[in-house]
Amino acid sequence: MNRAQLAMAYQACEVADLAAEAVTLDDPGEAREQAVRVLAAAQRLMEAADRFADPAEPTDSLQLFAYQHPEEAAADISAWVHRCRGHDCSGADARARG
């Protein structure tokens, strides 16, 4: 996995966490605010995907971290995947089931 792919994966984790949190909210206003955050993170994911074809370093702090510290970013992504496989992805799964 190259640094651009790592940055995309890192950004995708953020999108997933924000979306998982959104489905647990009971207040419509809070849900809308969270949806705005999800869309903003998704836009940054699109930018990371565009960067996959362009070797320039990102300006987004989350993606830049993945570029500058690939080993730590990979470890973070691995921990995120293990947590989500254990169905403890932000605790949203249990809350969504009620």
Question: What's the pLDDT score for residue 36?
Answer: 97
How far apart CA 45 and CA 11 sit, in angstroms, is 6
How far apart CA 56 and CA 69 sit, in angstroms, is 16
Domain total of the chain: 1
Closest CA to 51 of 87, 60, 36: 60
Range of the domain at 88: 3-97
Torsion from C-alpha of 63, 5, 49, 80, nearest 10 degrees = -60
- Are the C-beta atoms of 11 and 45 separated by less than 8 Å? yes
- Are the C-beta atoms of 44 and 65 separated by less than 8 Å? no
The alpha-helical segments, DSSP class H, found in the chain are 3-22, 28-51, 61-68, 70-85, 92-97
- pTM flag (> 0.75): no
Question: What's the pLDDT score for residue 40?
Answer: 96
In tens, the pLDDT along 55-92 reads 777 888 888 898 899 899 888 888 888 888 776 665 44
Average pLDDT, the chain: 84
